[in-house]
Amino acid sequence: MTALVPGGNLALPRGALTVRVPGPFDVSALITDDGGRVRDDADFVFYNQPSAPGARLGGDTLTVDPGALRSGATRVTVVVSPDEPDTPFSRLPSPVLQVCGPDGRSLARFAAPRPRTETVLLLVEIYRRGDMWKVRALGQGYADGLAGVARDFGVDVVESEAETATASVGDGPAPVGAVPTVVDLRVGPALSGRTEPGGSSVADAWLGPVNSARAHAGSPGVTWDARLAAAAQEHASVMAAAGRLGVEGRDGLAVYQRVTRTGYAYVNVGEHLVSGPRTPQELLASCLRTDQARRTVHDAVFTHAGLGRATGDRGGDVFWTALWARPLGPGDLGRTEAEVVALTNRERASAGLPPLATDPLLTRAAQAHSADMVARDFYSHTSPDGSGPRDRAAAAGAVRRSTGENIACGQRSEAEVVTGWMNSPGHRANILRAGFTHIGIGFAGGGRAGTYWTQLFGA
């Protein structure tokens, strides 16, 4: 076995490898090409998306079969973060990574230097050099959380769950990055009044082919919304000025914050951020090429759409933002709550536990917390004023012997958020805690992650 130091490398045998990092850490991996960029969000492997071609995560062990990676992949970067978000690396043992070959024999070991302020470590990369695969020790730290790492590798952190971190009292999840300063930016003109060659409006040039594709998939058509178009145009302009794609612009605003700033309150939202296509028709063709982007175009839940386009100063690249949404209507919060409770109780029933009863007072506290995270731009169990789950429950009038809380951000459906909680040991423990008898659910759209969810338990 070889003991690696930062920068050291070792040739690897052919076949599947196992990479293990025992201890209080979350393991994830990024699959990239020679340029160090992912192809799409499917190249990010973590506990909520535990597999990709040639890579599978199980607990603290990542299995990598270089020969089975997707076409064009030349590198797998292994990442670790504390499994509790409020615990700095400096309070944990140094991560120690072990690499084993196809026969189970230990090949390499890397003890990373003890981090200080960093919240994420790039431990090693498995990379191709000619016809050979090697492992190189890194030990590179990031202070802005897993989201910062994901963005640097080109991951859409909201769609792929890089920022869809979940947390629960005492059993927290991936850390959330530092919150940048929010800078006001005036909304630019929407595209609905502009024309394409031939005289048709951009709205028509977009909605016609879009609704044809949706009809072919069995989904109802969407209508143009000026507020979504204004938010999309603003975000496209910010990306064009920066010369790069991103859910969050240099002004510190996420695309979802731009939507809610126009007065559009939503219960469902989706987006495409693309550069390159020259026309709406080319953009749609690009969106229909990959499964994830195509699902957004076809998603029957959306009722409204908006489109923004801007040309970059450098190179003349065209940047697009397409937004999809369904407005928050009467009864939507109640339906969302009922669905999350039903899915939660289904998990409890599978474990032989009695169902949780909905408590309107816990619901009031949970809803207030989700809305507060959007309004004050934070993601934590502890509010900026220092209050916690028990404080919020008591303030709503719900006096309980014990309380617990799960929060999540970025998930786009009730099933997705409950599945994410069940895939995380701390959240699963809250859901399956025999002593809890009541529950309240909160949901809010907007903020940096797009959606914010709260489960508040009581006994």
**How would residue 357 be classed by pLDDT, with cut points 50, 70 and 90?**
very high
Phi and psi (nearest 5°) for 101?
A: -85, 180
- pLDDT at position 104 over 50: yes
Q: Mean pLDDT across the chain, nearest whole number?
A: 84
Taking the C-alpha atoms of residue 63 and residue 61, their distance in angstroms, rounded to an integer, is: 7
- Mean pLDDT calculated for residue range 385-407: 91
Better pLDDT: 38 or 298:
298
CB contact at 8 A, 165 and 174: yes
- pLDDT at position 225 over 50: yes
Share of the chain above pLDDT 70, in %: 85
Task: Give the pLDDT of residue 296.
Answer: 95
Task: Give the pLDDT of residue 157.
Answer: 47
- pLDDT at position 34 over 90: no
**How would residue 340 be classed by pLDDT, with cut points 50, 70 and 90?**
very high
- Mean pLDDT calculated for residue range 58-79: 91
DSSP-assigned letters across all residues of 90-123: GGSPPPEEEEE-TTS-EEEEEEPPPPSS-SEEEE
Supply 112's token pair: 């990373």
**How would residue 187 be classed by pLDDT, with cut points 50, 70 and 90?**
very low
- pLDDT at position 170 over 90: no
- pLDDT at position 320 over 90: yes
**How would residue 332 be classed by pLDDT, with cut points 50, 70 and 90?**
very high
Share of the chain above pLDDT 90, in %: 57
How does pLDDT run across 401-459, given as a tens digit for each residue? 899 999 999 898 999 999 999 988 889 999 999 999 999 999 999 998 999 999 999 99
Supply 113's token pair: 């230097």
**How would residue 156 be classed by pLDDT, with cut points 50, 70 and 90?**
low
- Mean pLDDT calculated for residue range 338-347: 97
DSSP letter assigned to residue 24: S
Half-sphere exposure of residue 207, counting CA atoms within 13 Å on the CB side?
20
Supply 312's token pair: 């970059």
Supply 335's token pair: 């339906």
**How would residue 115 be classed by pLDDT, with cut points 50, 70 and 90?**
low
The residue assigned the tokens 């959606």 is 451
Task: Give the pLDDT of residue 138.
Answer: 85
Task: Give the pLDDT of residue 437.
Answer: 96
- pLDDT at position 182 over 60: no
Task: Give the pLDDT of residue 195.
Answer: 45
Nearest to 164 by CA among 387, 436, 412: 412
- pLDDT at position 26 over 50: yes
CB contact at 8 A, 174 and 84: no
- pLDDT at position 190 over 60: no
pTM, to two decimals: 0.60
